[in-house]
């Protein structure tokens, strides 16, 4: 049976990481992989996480399954983090299950949508996270795109986006990035979110909100503005969230899928379908990461420490954006790169050609995706001069 298999192309980002690791240049820079790195280039464990892990080690007394929904306390705390004091919680219209990371949350959402309508269409932004399309197609959904990023002018193509969304069918789903758009870093303004929410309410399509970076843009509540506004506007919605970035729990693989229905009774029905989806994919979610998150969010001390550590990461990323733009100017670059400062979160399109990206890799050991998407956290005070000089040379 295996003889019929054909090799699949390697993931471009993972392939880039392999080349970076093999590169012997002492000045090499990794701007490809989307994980947060500190000034030393290390993805350290948060101090609040270390304290939560010690508490977990001291108090855990069983390794028994936690059930398909995951930890009820984790689900409750995640819903509160996502929605704040929103009426969907007060009215008991939301149901949350914990999942194996944000990717697992998206796959559960995709299978849930397929249960609602076989062969359903989901619209994603152009561009979007590279794994979105394959993930939704693997679940049997049809994937279409709506305009989002204007590469030529390095800004959001909001007019094109809104026009496309007005043509979406009522029984389609639309994927929206809550904040820190991956890969462009270009987010909707509050006014633009209001217009999108009005279109969603008018047409009746299902909003699917991917929130992988809450707290990495402007703040925890600020980054949830669009999501909460959408929940005010529609009767049904799906939210996929991740604890990988804002808690630094990448390898623990913990996230959540939340379904909002028009009533508590409808939410119960949706929850039963959600649990069936979980049961036939992975049966039970992992427990450790969820335990750490619920411990942090249940403790005033640890929660406040997490706020501080999250702010430190956010401020560093925003500082890196301004730093690279300033350094490019210092190195005589006359092209306008101010769009980098206007974007938010982990990523930005530098805006150079694939040939220039390849030159950065071949001649200067600077690694980024061919589209010129770069991970801002990979920039540091130690490498920014070399990076700016390298970019200046390939321009």
Could you tell me the residue ranges of all domains in the chain?
11-43+314-394, 65-298
Report DSSP letters for 209-234, one per residue. EEES-TTSSS-HHHHTHHHHHHHHH-
310 contacts 246 by C-beta, under 8 angstroms? yes
**Of 210, 223, 327, 344, which one is the catalytic site residue?**
210
Q: Would residue 129 show up in a list of annotated catalytic residues for this protein?
A: yes
Count CB atoms within 10 A of the CB of residue 238: 25
366 contacts 390 by C-beta, under 8 angstroms? yes
- Identify the CATH class of 65-298: alpha beta
Report pLDDT digits (tens) over 93-135.
999 999 999 999 999 999 999 999 999 999 999 999 999 999 9
Give the residue among 92, 73, 46, 52 at the shortest CA–CA distance from 312: 46
31 contacts 368 by C-beta, under 8 angstroms? yes
Report pLDDT digits (tens) over 40-72.
999 999 999 999 999 999 999 999 999 999 999
Report DSSP letters for 177-214, one per residue. E-SS-TTT--PPPHHHHHHHHHHHHHH--EEEEEES-T
Query: How far apart (Å, rounded) are the C-alpha atoms in residues 235 and 214?
Result: 23
Q: Which fold has domain 11-43+314-394?
A: 3.90.1150
Task: Give the pLDDT band (50/70/90) at residue 243.
Answer: very high
Instruction: Give me the mean pLDDT over the 176-204 stretch.
Output: 98
Q: Tell me the pTM.
A: 0.96
**Of 245, 306, 327, 344, which one is the catalytic site residue?**
245
pLDDT of residue 12: 79
128 contacts 175 by C-beta, under 8 angstroms? yes
Task: Give the pLDDT band (50/70/90) at residue 14.
Answer: confident
Q: Is the peptide bond before 127 cis (omega within 30 degrees of 0)?
A: yes
**Of 129, 154, 157, 223, which one is the catalytic site residue?**
129
Q: Would residue 245 show up in a list of annotated catalytic residues for this protein?
A: yes
Joined together, the tokens standing for residue 167 give 């043509």
């Amino acid at each position: 049976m295996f003889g019929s298999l054909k090799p699949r192309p390697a993931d471009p980002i993972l392939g880039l990481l392999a080349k970076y690791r093999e590169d012997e240049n002492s000045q090499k820079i990794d701007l490809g992989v989307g994980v947060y790195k500190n000034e030393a280039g290390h993805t350290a464990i948060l101090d609040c996480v270390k304290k939560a892990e010690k508490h977990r080690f001291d108090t855990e007394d069983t390794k028994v399954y936690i059930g398909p929904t995951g930890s009820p306390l984790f689900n409750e705390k995640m819903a509160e983090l996502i929605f704040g004091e929103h009426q969907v919680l007060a009215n008991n219209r939301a149901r949350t299950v914990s999942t194996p990371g944000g990717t697992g949350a998206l796959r559960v959402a995709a299978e849930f949508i397929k249960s609602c309508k076989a062969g359903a269409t989901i619209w994603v932004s152009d561009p979007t996270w590279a794994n979105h399309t394959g993930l939704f197609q693997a679940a049997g959904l049809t994937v279409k795109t709506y305009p989002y990023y204007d590469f030529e002018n390095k800004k959001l193509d909001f007019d094109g986006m809104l026009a496309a969304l007005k043509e979406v069918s009522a029984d389609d789903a639309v994927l929206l990035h809550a904040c820190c758009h991956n890969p462009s870093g270009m987010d909707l303004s509050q006014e633009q979110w209001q217009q999108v929410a009005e279109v969603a309410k008018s047409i009746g399509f299902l909003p699917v909100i991917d929130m992988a970076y809450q707290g990495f843009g402007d703040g925890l509540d600020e980054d949830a503005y669009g999501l909460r506004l959408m929940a005010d506007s529609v009767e049904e919605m799906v939210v996929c969230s991740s604890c990988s970035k804002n808690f630094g729990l990448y390898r623990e693989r913990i996230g959540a899928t939340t379904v909002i229905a028009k009533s508590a009774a409808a939410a119960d029905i949706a929850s039963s379908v959600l649990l069936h989806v979980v049961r036939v994919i992975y049966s039970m979610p992992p427990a450790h990461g969820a335990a750490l998150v619920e411990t942090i969010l249940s403790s005033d001390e640890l929660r406040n420490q997490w706020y501080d550590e999250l702010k430190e990461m956010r401020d560093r990323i925003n500082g890196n954006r301004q730093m690279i733009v300033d350094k490019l100017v210092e190195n005589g670059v006359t092209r306008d790169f101010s769009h980098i400062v206007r974007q938010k979160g982990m990523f930005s399109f530098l805006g150079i050609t694939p040939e220039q990206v390849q030159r950065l890799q071949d001649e200067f050991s600077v690694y980024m995706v061919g589209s010129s998407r770069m991970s801002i956290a990979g920039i540091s005070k130690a490498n920014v001069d070399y990076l700016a000089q390298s970019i200046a040379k390939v321009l």
